[in-house]
Structure 1
Amino acid sequence: MDNVELLMSFGLTRQEARVYILLLGEGALSGYEAAKRLGISRSNAYAALAGLVDKGAAYVAEEQAVQYHAVSIKEFCSNKLHYMEELSETLERQIPKQKQEDAKYLTIRGRRHIEDKFRNMLKEVKERVYLSVSASVADLFREELAELTAQNKKVVLLTDEQYILDGAIIYYAGKRSFASGHTGCEETVDGQIRLITDSSYALTGELQDEETSACLYSANPNLVKLLKDALANEIKLIEIEGKSKDIDKEG
């Protein structure tokens, strides 16, 4: 995503984002100057500047000629996030409570949406979490996982490389295709994920690029049990292989 698209995620229109970037780079400008620099009509420039002022991204300096000053990107984003947090709390109080999740199977597409779901599932953990992911994927959620272990919640991780996470139970599956549960593969499947939280919710699928990523999410007890059994079998196999290696060393 380029800077314009990133700013649009904070509520600016494309035109407002372009004018805002110009103000950040040039300093104070009048509407006429902004229009001339960007090659847009004065009416569009003034509309964009008014929008920036209204959204807290610019201030007006009324001196000999009206000029617009950009609010720093850090201040603008921080203010926006604070405001959205306040709105979120208000909505949580006012919106009717969500009905209890049923056992439907839901498809989640797009890498960002899958990461969001994964992260939110971790934040909702009450007692325990089991996950089978590559070390690189685990790193995406290190902060949330560390928070769980700090709260003495059980975290069991199966991964493809040596991984350090204080308080977690970690199993190293090596070059096994740990995420699919099969053995004998020469390479791990880096983007495959399995996540079970509180023995009640499951997320499984592939985390690849934005277009091809897709996962299945459900509170269906059959899917949860299926994934739990697969993970348990994988752990047993890792433990057996570990004991075999110990015996070989002793012999």
Structure 2
Amino acid sequence: MIDELVRVGFSSQEARVYVAALRQPSATGYELAKLAGLQRANVYQVLASLTERGVVEQVGDAPARFLAQPPAQVLGRIKHETARRCDALVADLAALSGPAQPTAFWSLKGRESVIERAGALVADAHDRVAVCLWADDLDWLGAPLRAAARSGCHVVVNVFGDVPVDFGEVYRHEPPAKTVGGHLLTLAVDSTTALIASLDEPAAAVHTEHPALLRVVEKLIRDEAYLAAIYDQLRPQLEETFGPHLVDLRSRLLPAEQASALLSVVGFGAGAPVVEELLPPE
């Protein structure tokens, strides 16, 4: 507790005296010095500081006794004052750096960094969240997305895999085992910020507010939703024309190595000319 109080602005001696005052209400300075393990000469200076800050209150004169203020009141005031100072600093420091540059983007390395940033972006959303993710990603992003939907945000979820989703506008895609290109996640929030992540190890991401990149990400997510909705309604006709899982069409547009991987995961559903073109000669 002492270390935590020091982290929010108490000196080590102030923290020890405050804890002692909580443990022994209406104690004298001598009693608090003994309980806190301080020299008696030092404790009165500490008590004067705590009294001035409203952390303890003197409740007697002969001898002087001290009563600790409730922790919720003391720490609540510190929390409010700290938030106010931080808000003021944000404005002051932003003024120093000038207007934000549209080319700005930030690189993230490591799965935990990606998870933390994606969750924070969704938690700060006001109007709209759109995302493409794998079913497993809902284990960590599901709760923030659900909270955003409950707060009134329009939430669009493209999910790869069969998993229950009880919030937002949901578009379902093939399971991850049927996809190629790796474990990708794309996220757009409030038409102001986007995150593009690769969650295969080593996991990494780019977070950007660049208008052009943001529009590309939003269009990608919309197109995934369009495809899922069209495929859901017209699957027989589409697979008759383009093969199971649209393998004829998809394999023509993928790099050769990814096209070969696609053929393997969908069971060689492409037509013979496509297969012959992609497979290496014997």
CA distance in 1, matches of 2:221, 2:118: 20
Unaligned runs of 5+ in 1: none
Could you tell me which amino acid in structure 1 is paired with residue 17 of structure 2?
V
Residues 188 and 194 in structure 2, CA contact (< 8 A), matched pair in contact too:
yes
Residues 188 and 214 in structure 2, CA contact (< 8 A), matched pair in contact too:
yes
Unaligned runs of 5+ in 2: 238-282
Residue 146 of structure 1 pairs with residue 150 of structure 2: yes
Aligned partner of 1:219 in structure 2 is 209
CA distance in 2, matches of 1:107, 1:226: 18
Q: Which of 161, 164, 167 in structure 2 is aligned with 1:162?
A: 164
Task: Give SS of 1:67's match.
Answer: strand
Provide the TM-score with structure 2 as the length reference: 0.55
What is the CA-CA distance between 1:91 and the residue it aligns to? 6.2
What is the CA-CA distance between 1:162 and the residue it aligns to? 2.6
Could you tell me which amino acid in structure 2 is paired with residue 75 of structure 1?
Q
User: 101-110 or 128-137, which moves further after superposition?
Assistant: 101-110
CA distance in 2, matches of 1:235, 1:156: 8
Residues 129 and 187 in structure 2, CA contact (< 8 A), matched pair in contact too:
yes
CA distance in 2, matches of 1:69, 1:197: 49
CA distance in 2, matches of 1:244, 1:218: 36
Aligned partner of 2:188 in structure 1 is 196
Q: Compared with structure 1, are the counterparts of its residues 29 and 17 closer, same or farther at alpha carbon in structure 2 (3 Å cutoff)?
A: same
Aligned partner of 1:7 in structure 2 is 5
Aligned partner of 1:55 in structure 2 is 53
1:178-218 Cα offsets, whole Å, 9 max, x none, are xxx95699xxx8xx9653123331235599xxxx9986432
Aligned partner of 1:137 in structure 2 is 141
Task: Give SS of 1:11's match.
Answer: coil
Task: Give SS of 2:27's match.
Answer: coil
Q: How does 1:52-201 map to 2 (within 5 A)?
A: 52-84=50-82, 86-87=84-85, 97=95, 99-107=99-107, 119=120, 123=124, 125=126, 127-131=127-131, 132=133, 133-140=137-144, 142-147=146-151, 149=152, 153-158=153-158, 161-165=163-167, 168-171=168-171, 176=176, 194-201=186-193
Residues 201 and 219 in structure 1, CA contact (< 8 A), matched pair in contact too:
yes
RMSD over aligned CA atoms reads 4.7
What is the CA-CA distance between 1:59 and the residue it aligns to? 1.9
Aligned partner of 2:33 in structure 1 is 35
Residues 162 and 172 in structure 1, CA contact (< 8 A), matched pair in contact too:
no
CA distance in 1, matches of 2:34, 2:143: 46
Provide the TM-score with structure 1 as the length reference: 0.60
CA distance in 2, matches of 1:15, 1:32: 15
Residues 130 and 197 in structure 1, CA contact (< 8 A), matched pair in contact too:
yes
Residue 25 of structure 1 pairs with residue 23 of structure 2: yes
What is the CA-CA distance between 1:93 and the residue it aligns to? 7.8
Task: Give SS of 2:10's match.
Answer: coil
1:20-60 Cα offsets, whole Å, 9 max, x none, are 33332332333333332233344554454344334332222
What is the CA-CA distance between 1:103 and the residue it aligns to? 1.6
CA distance in 2, matches of 1:44, 1:113: 48
Which structure has more relative contact order (CA 8 Å, sep 6+)? It is 1
> What is the aligned-residue identity percentage?
21
CA distance in 2, matches of 1:5, 1:140: 31
Residues 195 and 207 in structure 2, CA contact (< 8 A), matched pair in contact too:
yes
User: 39-48 or 235-244, which moves further after superposition?
Assistant: 235-244
CA distance in 2, matches of 1:12, 1:107: 36
